Amino acid sequence: MVGGVESFAVVMSGVAGLLIVNWLPKEQYGAYIFLVACMTLLLGVTDLGLSHCCLPVVGQRSREVPWVVGVCHQVFRKRWVLLGFGIFIVGPYWFYASRMHGWFGPGYVAASALILLVTLLGLREHYANTVLVILGHISTLNRIGLTSNIVRISFIAGVLLLPVTSWSVTGVVAATAAAGFVAVILYNRALRSREIADYRLDAADAKGVDQQVIKVAKPLVLPAIFFQVQGVITLFLVSLFGTSNMLAELGAFGRLAMVLLVVDRVAAILLFPMLARSAEGPTLVSTVIRVHAVYLLAMALMELSAIVLPQYWIILLGQQYSAMAPYVWMVFLSSILASASGLAFKTLTVRGATSSQAYGVAFIVVVQVLYLWKFGVSDLYAALGFNIASALAHASFQYLLLALRLPQWRREAQPDNQSP
């Protein structure tokens, strides 16, 4: 059921994204992609490893509602503080790049304000979603996600009926804001109907949780900063040194890999909470191995389709992007490797296995430097190859850590051992 609902959500999101790609002129789509990148970086700054703390800290106490809510609240308090820091960082860059491209105007400023609202709503959504995921209210999550996506696609459909103007980007962003607003209302209603109060930990428990959060998040701070910047660095460099058309092309390519979100969302709702509360032993290891084997096989088939039939994928983007067909397989490969590394990384973090992640940053930087020294980035092929090399280095490192961790997880835990 989760797979069906999440697949529908991704399909609806993908359809909405493709409609936007085909409808907006490249100039305006470039501005839209830039605003989305700013929002992504803002939410990334609030993370710094904190998003990986709730599941391992809650651990096997996932049926104790006050404990679950208290832990999540303690973690998200820190994320709200970091959001202010993120605005301080991203704000000046947004102003400089927007002025350089001549995007300033009433419509663009309104769209930027709505992007900030979407960020605020997104953080509240993430909190409520995390609580309900840990407590296992899956059907509630399905209904909220379905309703939110219907609101967004309906809003976008209405916007597409209007002529393209300087306010078109505002309308597209407003659709996302409306969906987020509806989702927050439904999440709050769900929490109230299930009598999930806004519990707070006492001083002793809060101190203990903070210590566990630091233990889990500290090894992730440097990798989190690196990968948050890495995730948007291409778009930000293009926004500084490229054109709006280049921004639009990079953003359009990202729409083709949205099918990967189905796996990510299903895993986030079903797989990772189960792994977090499972006792160590052969069953845990067997589950991890089977999940990753099936995932990698499915991704191999997807990559094959991008190699053999790229012209059919590029049709989804419209005639504006028809010349980009030869690059589809490269975009898919880098996206698949990045998604695989994320799956391995999250498998480790939900069990509290966050050590050694900083070494991955050094390894990836070495690979990137060697690639630039050997091939450079003088053309699009070389630039996409750089993305593939980076994603391959990340995936290789994460799967190495996972392979080294499996023998430890295979051993049966002691009955009084509650830590992952």
Which of 239 and 212 is assigned the larger pLDDT?
Answer: 212
* pLDDT tier, 317 (very low <50, low <70, confident <90, very high otherwise): low
Residue 224 Cα distances to 57, 230, 354, 360, 361, angstroms? 19, 10, 11, 11, 10
For the chain, first and last CA: distance in Å? Answer: 28
Distance, in Å, from the CA atom of 385 to the CA atom of 234, rounded to the nearest integer, reads 13
pLDDT at 71: 86
* pLDDT tier, 420 (very low <50, low <70, confident <90, very high otherwise): very low
Determine contact, residues 125/180, Cβ cutoff 8 Å.
yes
| Mean pLDDT score, 42-54 | 77
Chain centre to alpha carbon of residue 85: 20
pLDDT reading at 389 higher than 70: yes
pLDDT at 418: 42
Among candidate residues 180, 240, 223, 236, the one with its CA nearest the CA of residue 37: 236
Determine contact, residues 86/45, Cβ cutoff 8 Å.
yes
pLDDT at 416: 43
pLDDT at 8: 65
Q: What is the pTM of this model?
A: 0.64
Q: How many helices and strands in the chain, by DSSP H and E? A: 17, 0
Query: Residue 359: which residues within 8 A CB-CB, separation 6 or more?
Result: 397
Which tokens go with 120? 């605020």
pLDDT at 287: 83
Which of 269 and 145 is assigned the larger pLDDT?
Answer: 145
pLDDT reading at 412 higher than 50: yes
Q: What one-character-per-residue DSSP string does 202-261 give?
A: -HHHHHHHHHHHHHHHGGGHHHHHHHHHHHHHHHHHHHHHS-HHHHHHHHHHHHHGGGHH
Chain centre to alpha carbon of residue 92: 24
| Mean pLDDT score, 169-180 | 89
Q: Is 23 left (phi over 0), alpha (psi -120 to 50) or beta?
A: alpha
Give the tens place of pLDDT for each residue, 296-310.
888 888 888 888 888
Among candidate residues 280, 299, 253, the one with its CA nearest the CA of residue 395: 299
From start to end of 14-82, where are the E strands?
A: none
pLDDT at 265: 62
Give the tens place of pLDDT for each residue, 125-171.
888 988 888 888 878 888 888 888 888 888 888 888 888 788 888 98
Phi–psi pair at 350, nearest 5 degrees: -70, -15
pLDDT at 396: 92
Which tokens go with 398? 């994460």
Query: 234: how many CB neighbours lie within 10 A of its CB?
Result: 19
Buried b (16+ CB within 10 A) or exposed e, 169-178: bbbbbbbbbb
pLDDT at 257: 62
